[in-house]
Amino acid sequence: MSDLDFTPDEMMAIAASRALTNTDVCFVGIGPPSAACNIARLTHAPDITLIYESGTIGTAPDVLPLSIGDGELCDTALTTVSVPEMFRYWLQGGKITVGFLGAAQIDRFANINTTVVGDYEHPTVRLPGGGGAPEIASSSQEIYITMKQSKRGFVEKIDFFTSFGHGEGGDHRARMGIASKGPTLLITDLAIWKPDPVTKELTVVSLHPRTTKERVQQTVSWAVRFSDDLQETPAPTEEELSVLRALKARTAAAQAGNKVETA
């Protein structure tokens, strides 16, 4: 284990970034997915193509965007296309290798809710909604998800199907006529999960440093499955932590209206 000090959130972002490669064309969600994708771009995958829902292609933001409409995305993109072209040609055309999403609620088959908590007509909380996430979940070649673990988020049954994961499990995606792989990876602040090859139930394959099986189970509302070959996630390196912290510092400075210094 590394002697470096790091937080669970830093471990989550860095572990998620490692899943991306130099050749990926990645449709990026705002928030934790955006942090992970840009860490990858700034470390081991400098040639990754990052695409945001507003139509920016090959963007290389110096700070993390507040939304898909953040001018930083357009300013640093190779090109910007219309939203219909983005979805019809790039996404539905099968050109996106990875769709990287966040979630408010997730169930054991990686179905995602970002719409409401509680009854749809009279919700306890009304969330931002799906945006392009339902189409990303269906049309990207595969889906990565990142979110923090809690019993409020990891639920037995999601309150609303915003983005279809593996449905009821097994071959449900295929029966629905969805040809893409769907969610293949879930990275949290405690562990790395992958769907079982047959049942598609999310299974913990790697625990982050300083995490236990008991801690994982305490933050999930269903009985967690652990891989027979359970691994420990490598701790962040000094370079990874430095890049992440510098990115967050530049972002905080920009949001505060201060001059941003490029690392």
Q: Which residues are catalytic?
A: 53
Amino acid at the residue 64: L
Residue 32 token pair: 């934790």
- 3-state SS record for 4-57: CCCCHHHHHHHHHHHCCCCCCEEEECCCHHHHHHHHHHHCCCCCCEEECCCCEE
In eight-state DSSP terms, residue 262 is: P
Cα–Cα distance measured from residue 150 to residue 105, given in angstroms and rounded to the nearest whole number: 9
Residue 157 token pair: 């049954």
Could you tell me if 190 and 215 are in contact, meaning their C-beta atoms sit under 8 angstroms apart? yes
Listed in sequence order, the DSSP H helices in the chain are 8-18, 32-42, 71-76, 83-85, 133-139, 172-175, 213-218, 238-255
Cα–Cα distance measured from residue 166 to residue 176, given in angstroms and rounded to the nearest whole number: 10
Closest CA to 141 of 176, 181, 184, 187: 181
Chain CA centroid to CA 193, Å = 12
**Which run of H or E residues covers position 189?**
none
Cα–Cα distance measured from residue 139 to residue 187, given in angstroms and rounded to the nearest whole number: 21
